[in-house]
Protein backbone atom coordinates (compact mmCIF):
# COMPACT_ATOMS: atom_id res chain seq x y z
CA UNK A 1 0.00 0.00 0.00
CA UNK A 2 1.39 3.39 -0.99
CA UNK A 3 0.71 6.23 1.41
CA UNK A 4 0.79 9.88 0.45
CA UNK A 5 -0.73 11.62 3.46
CA UNK A 6 1.04 14.91 2.81
CA UNK A 7 3.36 16.62 0.36
CA UNK A 8 6.93 16.39 1.72
CA UNK A 9 7.75 19.71 0.06
CA UNK A 10 5.39 21.41 2.55
CA UNK A 11 7.48 20.45 5.61
CA UNK A 12 10.62 22.33 6.51
CA UNK A 13 13.08 20.52 8.83
CA UNK A 14 13.48 22.42 12.11
CA UNK A 15 17.22 21.84 12.36
CA UNK A 16 17.20 19.23 15.12
CA UNK A 17 19.72 16.45 14.50
CA UNK A 18 18.79 12.78 14.85
CA UNK A 19 19.24 11.58 18.44
CA UNK A 20 19.85 8.33 20.28
CA UNK A 21 19.49 7.31 23.94
CA UNK A 22 19.37 3.98 25.81
CA UNK A 23 15.84 3.08 26.96
CA UNK A 24 16.82 0.12 29.13
CA UNK A 25 19.60 -2.26 30.04
CA UNK A 26 18.50 -5.80 29.22
CA UNK A 27 20.78 -7.18 31.94
CA UNK A 28 18.97 -5.32 34.74
CA UNK A 29 16.13 -7.10 36.54
CA UNK A 30 12.91 -5.49 37.73
CA UNK A 31 9.70 -4.27 36.16
CA UNK A 32 10.71 -0.65 35.52
CA UNK A 33 13.68 -1.13 33.25
CA UNK A 34 14.06 2.46 32.13
CA UNK A 35 12.74 5.60 30.53
CA UNK A 36 13.82 8.41 28.25
CA UNK A 37 12.50 11.89 28.83
CA UNK A 38 11.50 13.54 25.58
CA UNK A 39 13.73 16.51 26.27
CA UNK A 40 16.73 14.13 26.02
CA UNK A 41 15.78 13.50 22.38
CA UNK A 42 14.50 17.06 21.76
CA UNK A 43 10.93 15.84 21.34
CA UNK A 44 7.58 16.14 23.10
CA UNK A 45 7.15 12.49 24.18
CA UNK A 46 8.66 10.44 26.99
CA UNK A 47 9.01 6.67 26.61
CA UNK A 48 9.05 4.08 29.42
CA UNK A 49 9.35 0.31 29.37
CA UNK A 50 7.65 -1.93 31.93
CA UNK A 51 7.51 -5.69 32.31
CA UNK A 52 6.89 -8.41 34.86
CA UNK A 53 6.35 -12.17 34.98
CA UNK A 54 3.85 -12.24 37.87
CA UNK A 55 0.09 -12.38 37.21
CA UNK A 56 -1.76 -9.84 39.33
CA UNK A 57 1.23 -7.50 39.61
CA UNK A 58 1.59 -4.06 38.04
CA UNK A 59 2.24 -0.37 38.74
CA UNK A 60 0.34 1.32 41.55
CA UNK A 61 -2.57 3.68 40.87
CA UNK A 62 -1.24 6.98 39.60
CA UNK A 63 -2.13 9.99 37.45
CA UNK A 64 -0.40 12.30 34.94
CA UNK A 65 -1.26 15.83 33.72
CA UNK A 66 -1.05 14.55 30.11
CA UNK A 67 -2.27 11.56 28.05
CA UNK A 68 -0.43 8.22 28.24
CA UNK A 69 -0.56 5.52 25.56
CA UNK A 70 0.27 1.94 26.50
CA UNK A 71 1.48 -0.51 23.84
CA UNK A 72 1.19 -4.12 24.98
CA UNK A 73 4.16 -5.82 23.36
CA UNK A 74 3.92 -9.20 25.07
CA UNK A 75 1.33 -10.94 27.24
CA UNK A 76 -2.04 -9.75 28.51
CA UNK A 77 -2.94 -6.87 30.81
CA UNK A 78 -5.96 -5.53 32.63
CA UNK A 79 -6.04 -1.73 32.72
CA UNK A 80 -8.05 0.25 35.26
CA UNK A 81 -8.55 3.73 33.80
CA UNK A 82 -10.91 5.86 35.86
CA UNK A 83 -14.06 3.75 36.24
CA UNK A 84 -13.32 1.66 33.13
CA UNK A 85 -11.67 -1.78 33.01
CA UNK A 86 -9.98 -2.67 29.72
CA UNK A 87 -8.32 -5.99 28.89
CA UNK A 88 -5.59 -5.81 26.23
CA UNK A 89 -3.14 -8.28 24.74
CA UNK A 90 0.04 -8.14 22.68
CA UNK A 91 -0.45 -5.91 19.66
CA UNK A 92 -3.12 -3.71 21.27
CA UNK A 93 -2.91 -0.19 22.68
CA UNK A 94 -4.77 1.56 25.50
CA UNK A 95 -5.00 5.32 26.09
CA UNK A 96 -5.19 6.89 29.54
CA UNK A 97 -6.48 10.47 29.32
CA UNK A 98 -4.80 13.31 31.18
CA UNK A 99 -5.96 13.65 34.79
CA UNK A 100 -7.60 10.19 34.93
CA UNK A 101 -6.10 7.82 37.54
CA UNK A 102 -4.92 4.51 36.10
CA UNK A 103 -2.99 1.33 36.74
CA UNK A 104 -2.63 -2.09 35.14
CA UNK A 105 -1.79 -5.66 36.07
CA UNK A 106 -0.36 -8.69 34.33
CA UNK A 107 -3.20 -11.12 33.53
CA UNK A 108 -0.79 -13.96 32.76
CA UNK A 109 0.12 -16.52 31.97
CA UNK A 110 3.71 -15.46 31.41
CA UNK A 111 5.38 -12.14 30.89
CA UNK A 112 3.68 -8.79 30.40
CA UNK A 113 5.81 -6.25 28.53
CA UNK A 114 4.60 -2.75 27.70
CA UNK A 115 5.98 0.34 26.06
CA UNK A 116 4.40 3.39 27.70
CA UNK A 117 4.32 6.65 25.76
CA UNK A 118 3.84 9.82 27.80
CA UNK A 119 2.73 12.82 25.74
CA UNK A 120 5.09 15.13 27.58
CA UNK A 121 8.78 16.02 27.28
CA UNK A 122 9.18 14.90 30.94
CA UNK A 123 7.79 12.05 33.06
CA UNK A 124 5.46 13.70 35.57
CA UNK A 125 3.46 11.47 37.92
CA UNK A 126 1.59 11.49 41.22
CA UNK A 127 1.14 8.10 42.92
CA UNK A 128 -2.28 7.69 44.55
CA UNK A 129 -1.68 4.52 46.60
Does a structural domain hold residue 44? yes
- The whole-number pLDDT of residue 30 equals 79
| pLDDT tens digits, one per residue of 44-84 | 999 999 999 999 999 999 999 999 999 999 999 999 999 99
Does a structural domain hold residue 71? yes
- Residue 90 confidence (pLDDT) above 90: yes
Does a structural domain hold residue 113? yes
HSE-up (13 A, CA, CB side) for residue 127: 3
- The pTM of the full predicted model, rounded to 2 decimals, is 0.89
DSSP string, the chain: -----S-GGG----SPPP-------TT--SSEEEEE-GGGGTSS-EEEEEEESSTT--PPSEE-SS-EEEEEEESEEEEEETTEEEEEETT-EEEE-TT--EEEEE-SSS-EEEEEEESSSS---EE--
- The whole-number pLDDT of residue 65 equals 97
Find the mean pLDDT for residues 96-124.
97
Range of the domain at 101: 30-124
- Residue 33 confidence (pLDDT) above 90: no
- Residue 124 confidence (pLDDT) above 90: yes
- Residue 26 confidence (pLDDT) above 80: no
Number of independent structural domains in the chain: 1
| In contact, 123 and 117? CB cutoff 8 Å | no
Does a structural domain hold residue 8? no
Does a structural domain hold residue 77? yes
Q: Is the peptide bond before 35 cis (omega within 30 degrees of 0)?
A: no
Does a structural domain hold residue 60? yes
- Residue 109 confidence (pLDDT) above 90: yes
CATH number at residue 58: 2.60.120.10
Does a structural domain hold residue 14? no
Does a structural domain hold residue 66? yes
Amino acid sequence: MTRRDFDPATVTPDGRPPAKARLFDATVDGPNRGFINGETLATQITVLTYGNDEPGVGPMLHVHPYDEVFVVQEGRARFFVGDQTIDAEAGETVMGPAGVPHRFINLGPGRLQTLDIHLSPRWIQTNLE
